[in-house]
Amino acid sequence: CASSAPPSVGTPLSKLSTKPPNNRPITVGEMVNEKVATKTETASSKHREIAEKIISNQIGAASPAVSPDGTQVAYVVTRVDYKANKYRSQIWLASTDAKQPPRPLTAGEKRDGNPSWSPDGTWLAFTSGRSEKKGETTLHVMPIGSSGEIRTIATMPDGVGSVRWSPNGKLIAFTSRTQDERYTKDDEASMSPRKIETFFTRLNGEDFVFDRPQHIYIVPSDGTAAPCNITPGTHEHSGPSWLADSSGVVTSGALHETWDEDLANDLHLVKLDGEITTLTDQRGVYYAPSVSPDGARVAFIGSDDPLTSPQNDHVGVLEIKTKKREWVSRALDRTFSPTSGAIAPIWRDDKTLIAYAEDRGTAHVVQVDATGKSAPKWLTSGRKIVKAFNAVAGGAGATIAYVASEVNQLTELFVLTKSGERRLSDLSASLVAASTPQTWEHFTVPCGSKYVGGPNEIDVWMMKPRDFDSEKKYPMLLNVHGGPHTQYGETYFDEAQMQAAAGFVVVMSNPRGSSGREQAWGQAILGRKHPVAPGTGWGDADVKDVLAVLDGAVAKYPFIDNKRVGMLGGSYGGYMATMLAGCHGDKFKAICSERAVNNMLSEEWTSDIGTVFRVEHGPNHLEDEAEYVRMSPIRHVRNINVPMLIIHSENDLRCPMVRRCIACNAPKSFLTSLQPSSTPKLMV
């Protein structure tokens, strides 16, 4: 904290009513906005109606796949089924000349995905979760441009991903988790105990993974044989990319002895008979391989240091024969592994690669010189975040497809050709008609303390409330993102839209530690004793930056009521919420801390990634317990007097609830550390 002195604060938690009129639960918005809390139920019903419209009209494009001739794009359309509380997705097809409207290729109430074209463009592979069995996924191929039926060529018990056709069109590679025998039992009581011999055992969103590793499977594209696992064993493999002669694939995987203690990942050449040749040397983090059309080289994403995170991951090129590798994108100090997920570079020709990178609240498609002799070139621009892209390896059609979200629209499908950029989908129409999305206004404020690694400024975004009146004062919500090594920016954000619709000014930013900028910015909050890039540690420069954003927004916009400021955030954002509640609660009317990291000691003990905390913080808690205590918001909870809402998720393995108690990451110690007058009134 910038200050450890107890703040001068307002209403103690014990005096906060949790039952506004009509005996319904209070919301964090009502804590901030007393005027909202005393309005009639009609006003609240109106806000809920708008929120329902925003949520029920969520729809977006994903996973674009360009046909070999560059004339069509298959992609996934995902929508919210509001009544069923589920996502539904189908495969759609669009013509790149936009002369015909996009059309659905699949239908139904399940989830289809992972479209992948055969080399001759006559078949499209895709996955589907149509089975009634949990986790079971089927792999299909459907004819395109001719009559015929969809074929099911594989059924896997634990998911299918990374679908890739071989260059000769005869085989399809994909990833799937290989289940231990215990998972095949119908009766859980008859399952044998797990024998755990590794540090890394569970993964957020997946639960136990050490005994169900992800492997590479090969299946004939005509479905005449069962899938074959070419990477058996206890280690994981990902991102298969075919060799030019279809004799094997290049994958990414951690096969070294200390794989569960660092971030090291190697590239491997795996032949169809299972023979594995490691192409790198266990000294870096190398992933997302992409074999060149001539089969001589592999492009990939990564970095050279498996003991430091975050880093700005770059595009590299490796010669398969000599194993010589070279970084070719370092002239642009940005990460080529954006928040939305790493995608393998695509060879446009023998000298040119297509990738994408973040840039100060945006993300765009980038052209990279495969020799590294010239600097990367931005191919897209503007106020948007590209979330995925695809192009035809070898340059046929010179067409790049990508999906991107803009400030006031959902994720849409675009193509970039020699004639320019064109939007192919119009998925946002129903949302715009139902809710009229607000826009972001971007500005910068000086850092909260000196920063010398680049521009001494923080990117900030402000959204005005719905039906804005410049003569009125409005309550403000300050939103801090999770990560911390992610970014907010120029994209549609449903939570902010709902908050603006409820009458709030919404402010969000990318303080030090965020991604999207020079590497020094992300590493500014690494541990104070980090052996490679020591920073201020959590709870120092980042706190000062968030406070600078608050002060800067209030000073810039006279319509913000500085007596009605709320703050909220999840995961690392929840960490920041609790830290500010304990150190600077006098600046806020109310705070909401979601799935927070409140105790850094217990976080290292229990988080799914706790064993690699040293890559961020330097020493672990056994080597420097005092520093972990210093970074922990829990040491300031006795100072909390600001009304505070704590929300946690039972199945969150990244920021878990210790001993599964409902409240926060260290619930018993957190609650017993509160002042006697701060007894919790409501738990969610």
Which of 406 and 341 is assigned the larger pLDDT? 406
Check pLDDT > 60 for residue 307: yes
CA 509, CA 553: separation in Å to the nearest integer? 11
For residue 310, cis peptide bond before it (omega within 30 degrees of 0):
yes
pLDDT for res 40: 46
Q: For tokens 């009766």, what's the residue? A: 187
Q: Give, in degrees to the nearest 5, the angle at Cα 217 between 242 and 354.
A: 35
Confidence check: pLDDT of 503 > 70: yes
The H or E element containing residue 481 is: none
Confidence of residue 606 (pLDDT cuts 50, 70, 90): confident
Q: Is the pLDDT of residue 15 over 60?
A: no
The pLDDT of 1-30, averaged and rounded, is 40
Worst-scoring range by mean pLDDT, 164-168, 241-245, 349-353? 349-353
Alpha carbons within 13 A on the beta-carbon side of 522: 26
| pLDDT tens, residue by residue, 422-451 | 999 999 998 888 888 899 999 999 999 999
* Banded model confidence at residue 368, pLDDT cuts 50, 70, 90: very high
How far CA 125 is from CA of 143, 173, 226, 550, in Å, comes to 9, 11, 16, 49
Task: Please give the pLDDT value at position 612.
Answer: 74
- For residue 36, the model assigns a pLDDT of 42
List the beta bridge partners of residue 11: none
Contact 296, 318 (CB under 8 A): no
Contacts of 535 (CB under 8 A, 6+ apart): 523, 524, 525, 526, 527, 528, 541
The more confidently predicted of residues 659 and 216 is 216
What are the φ/ψ torsions at residue 154 (nearest 5 degrees)? -160, 145
Question: In Å, how far from its chain's centre is CA 306?
Answer: 20
Q: Is 169 exposed, middle or buried (0-12, 13-18, 19+ CB in 10 A)?
A: middle
Tell me how many helices (H) and strands (E) the chain has: 12, 37
The number of C-alpha atoms within 13 Å of 280 and in the hemisphere containing its C-beta is 33
Q: Which pTM was predicted?
A: 0.88
Which has the higher per-residue pLDDT, 337 or 291?
Answer: 291
Candidates 505, 496, 487; CA nearest to 385 is 487
Tokens of 602: 């217990």
Residue of 554, 603, 596, 557 whose CA lies nearest to 573? 596
Domains plus CATH for the chain?
235-394 (2.120.10.30), 440-678 (3.40.50.1820)
The residue ranges of DSSP E strands in 272-345, in sequence order, are: 276-278, 285-291, 297-303, 314-319, 325-327
Residue-level pLDDT at 5 = 37
- For residue 397, pLDDT beyond 60: no
Sheet holding 238-242, edge to edge: 238-242, 248-253, 266-271, 276-278
Q: Quick count: other Cβ atoms within 10 Å of Cβ 528?
A: 17
**Given a cut of 70, is residue 521 above it in pLDDT?**
yes
Proportion of the chain above pLDDT 70, given as a percent: 85
The whole-angstrom separation of Cα 207 and Cα 656 is 12
Residue 469 and residue 244: Cα distance in Å, rounded? 62
Q: Does an H or E element contain 630, and which?
A: helix 625-631
pLDDT of residue 622: 85
Span 120-161, pLDDT tens digits: 999 999 999 877 777 789 999 999 988 888 999 999 988 899
**Residues facing residue 251 across a β-bridge:** 268
- Alpha-carbon separation of residue 13 from 487, 644, 675 (angstroms): 32, 7, 9
Cis bond before residue 619 (omega within 30° of 0): no
Predicted pLDDT of residue 549:
98
Q: pLDDT value at position 383?
A: 94
Partners of 175 in the β-ladder: 161, 216
Partners of 476 in the beta sheet?
505, 565
pLDDT tens-digit map of 541-560 = 999 999 999 999 999 999 99
CB 491 within 8 A of CB 581: no
| Phi and psi, residue 417, nearest 5° | -125, -175
Strand partners, 141: 125, 151
Residue at token pair 């997302």: 288
Q: Are strands 151-156 and 137-143 parallel, antiparallel or unpaired?
A: antiparallel
Of the two residues 220 and 234, the one the predictor is more confident about is 220
Confidence at residue 46, expressed as pLDDT on a 0 to 100 scale? 78
In which band, very low, low, confident or very high, does the pLDDT at 42 lie, cut at 50, 70 and 90? Answer: low
**Residue 168: is its pLDDT beyond 60?**
yes
| Sheet with 325-327, edge to edge strand ranges | 285-291, 297-303, 314-319, 325-327
Confidence of residue 659 (pLDDT cuts 50, 70, 90): very low
Higher pLDDT, 106 or 420: 106
Note the pLDDT of residue 608. 67
Grade residue 51 by pLDDT with cuts at 50, 70 and 90: confident
Asked if pLDDT for residue 105 goes beyond 80, the answer is: yes
Collapsing DSSP to helix, strand or coil, 594 comes out as strand
Range list of H helices, 311-407: none
The C-alpha atoms of residue 584 and residue 548 are separated, in whole angstroms, by 12
pLDDT given at position 20 = 40
Distance CA 159, CA 137 (A): 5
Q: Model confidence over 177-209: pLDDT tens digits? A: 887 666 666 666 667 777 777 776 677 667 776
Q: What is the dihedral of CA 501, 461, 562, 681, to 10 degrees?
A: 60
Split at pLDDT 50, 70, 90, the class of 43 is low
Q: Which amino acid is at 344?
A: A
Shortest CA distance to 249 belongs to which of 273, 219, 269?
A: 269
Distance CA 418, CA 411 (A): 23
**Which tops the pLDDT comparison, 207 or 308?**
308
Contacts of 433 (CB under 8 A, 6+ apart): none
- pLDDT at residue 110 in the model: 83
pLDDT of residue 668: 47
Confidence of residue 678 (pLDDT cuts 50, 70, 90): low
Residue 263 has pLDDT above 50, yes or no: yes
| Mean pLDDT score of the chain | 86
Say which residue, 500 or 398, is predicted with more confidence: 500
> Average pLDDT of 64-80?
95
Strand-pair category, 440-446 with 457-463: antiparallel
